[in-house]
């Protein structure tokens, strides 16, 4: 799979689902302003992917032109359990590396399943993406956006209700369309 196809599918999902359905009410402004970094991870083994994640933290520290970054991992983390294992390791590194308060890490995967939920629950699609990816969010950008959004704690519940109302078939089709656009 080539990088351009991965990026096309990811942008389709970000623009059509994340922004289009307003799943993240803070995403539209940086997406439209071109302040989201999209990066395809060239690695496919756990160590290489881990190193790519650490390198992206470094890049985000050095570059202030991006509010957020999506490190897309098209190979190596197809199994959701493998993805979760690596995510746990990375989340433990954030405070150890002095990155707590600087970045949040959000997680997206094609087979994302919330703990205790049914695999076919449309609510899982709030975190289902065309490829496994790690979303680096600059804390200061998020804090600024939160100042202008009433009751942000209600966002997850609103998203769950919206996707359940849309139904499984509709949310599956949205994701499939983006995968198809990517080739």
* Among 54, 69, 60, 44, residue whose Cα is nearest residue 134: 69
Predicted confidence (pLDDT) at residue 165 exceeds the cutoff of 90: yes
How does residue 145 score in pLDDT terms, banded at 50, 70 and 90? confident
Predicted confidence (pLDDT) at residue 78 exceeds the cutoff of 90: yes
Q: If you average pLDDT over residues 99-117, what whole number do you get?
A: 96
Predicted confidence (pLDDT) at residue 146 exceeds the cutoff of 90: no
Collapsing DSSP to helix, strand or coil, 35 comes out as coil
The DSSP symbol for 90 reads: H
Predicted confidence (pLDDT) at residue 173 exceeds the cutoff of 90: yes
Q: Which residues contact 165 (CB under 8 A, 6 or more apart)?
A: none
Q: What is the CA radius of gyration of the chain?
A: 16
Number of structural domains found in the chain: 1
Confidence (pTM): 0.95
150 vs 44, residue with greater confidence: 44
Average pLDDT, the chain: 95
Q: Which domain holds residue 11?
A: 3-182
pLDDT for the residue 183: 79
* Among 8, 2, 19, residue whose Cα is nearest residue 177: 8
pLDDT for the residue 59: 96
């Amino acid at each position: 799979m080539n990088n351009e196809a991965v990026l096309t599918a990811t942008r389709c999902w970000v623009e059509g689902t994340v922004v289009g359905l307003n799943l993240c009410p803070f995403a539209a402004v940086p997406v439209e302003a071109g302040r989201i970094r999209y990066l395809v991870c060239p690695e496919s083994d756990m160590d290489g992917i881990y190193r790519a994640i650490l390198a992206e933290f470094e890049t985000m520290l050095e570059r202030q032109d991006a509010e957020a970054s999506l490190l897309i991992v098209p190979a190596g983390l197809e199994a959701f359990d493998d993805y979760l294992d690596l995510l746990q390791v990375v989340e433990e590194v954030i405070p150890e590396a002095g990155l707590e308060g600087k970045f949040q890490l959000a997680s997206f995967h094609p087979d994302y399943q919330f703990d205790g939920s049914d695999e076919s629950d449309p609510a899982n699609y709030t975190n289902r993406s065309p490829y496994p990816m790690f979303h680096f969010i600059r804390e200061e950008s998020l804090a600024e956006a939160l100042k202008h959004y009433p009751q942000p704690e209600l966002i997850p519940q609103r998203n769950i209700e919206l996707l359940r109302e849309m139904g499984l078939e509709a949310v599956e089709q949205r994701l499939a369309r983006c995968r198809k656009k990517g080739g």
